[in-house]
Amino acid sequence: MSDNHVVRYLSALIEHGNFSKASQVLEISQPSLSQFVQRLEAEVGMPLVNRDSRPLRLTFAGECYLRTEKEIERLREIRDRQIADIARGVRGRIRLGASQYRSTFFLTEVLPLFRERYPDVEIQLLEGTTWELERLALTGKADLALSLAPLFHPELQFEPLYSERQFLCLSDADPIARSVPETGEEFPELPFERLSDHPFILIRKGQQFHEIFEWLCRESGARPKVVLESDSPVAAIYLASAGVGATLTTLTLARRAHTAQPVRCFSCAPALPDRQVVVAFRAEAYRNKAAQALVAVMKEVGGRQLGNC
């Protein structure tokens, strides 16, 4: 009996709660699914599915059986990857999760160098918010995910890559920006409370900038007027330069974004910690030679070019 079918069929049955819906999702007939479960129960010698429950649930034996089968499947996948590594060397495909911002301002430095060194490795880029990318890694849909520490999903493991400084960002023409006295400092201090009721461009929930904004509001007792929410820190700084409102940004983005109008960056009070950029992955997942090589190149580029950002 196919072990792969055991995990797929039992998981679908419990997820959808009945044989009819599960068989539709699995694209097999309902009698075939029912017979499969009956044969499996006969082989085990006890019921695995509680048919009196609505929706259907696994029995205690069924839960143990499915949990063990998933672990066997995971170990089998690790075995196959290890053997493939031995046979092929640094080849294969890496599913890499990255935000649009990180793709634009980090992977453009990393991937050309990686491709030059490892031309036989294919990169499949998966984009989303920081939370979504971590979720992809946690569920095994991404091998690696670029994220920020602390992670939204602490079950993941990570390796640090580089740090980047964070600032408040306003259009150079903004009255608040113009009111900050020149002190000779590159990034003069701007108390967050001065932005109370001031137009603000907020990065959507699921990214660390959103969490930082909420923290600043709690710490300062001030709350800017959110006039626009965006998934993209890149879009946010361009909108800030156009005078739409203040926003949060990084030194990397402030220096590399070619905005039509100049922006000014300010150190914030309360002070903002540096962001620790990391590569996250499942603790139990096997990282093949290709993934290990990509992480090494990321660390090289992060340390050489972006470490002081």
DSSP one-letter code for 204: P
State whether residue 162 is helix, strand or coil. strand
Write the CA distances from 138 to 9, 38, 146, 204, integer angstroms. Answer: 22, 32, 13, 21
Q: Cα–Cα distance between 140 and 126 in angstroms, integer? A: 12
Q: What is the pLDDT of residues 208-223, one digit of tens each?
A: 999 999 999 999 999 9
Q: What is the pLDDT of residues 212-257, one digit of tens each?
A: 999 999 999 999 999 999 989 999 999 999 999 999 999 888 888 8
Helix (H) or strand (E) holding 268: strand 263-269
For each of the domains in the chain, give its residue range(s) and CATH number, in order of start.
3-84 (1.10.10.10), 91-163+276-306 (3.40.190.10), 166-273 (3.40.190.290)
Confidence of residue 17 (pLDDT cuts 50, 70, 90): confident
Q: Is the pLDDT of residue 289 over 70?
A: yes
Nearest to 207 by CA among 268, 248, 263, 255: 248
Taking a C-beta distance cutoff of 8 angstroms, is the pair 209, 130 a contact?
A: no
Half-sphere exposure of 118 (CA within 13 A, CB side): 22
Q: Cα–Cα distance between 68 and 70 in angstroms, integer? A: 5
pLDDT of residue 306: 53
Indicate the range of 43-57, 108-122, 160-174 predicted with least confidence. Answer: 43-57
Q: Cα–Cα distance between 18 and 24 in angstroms, integer? A: 10
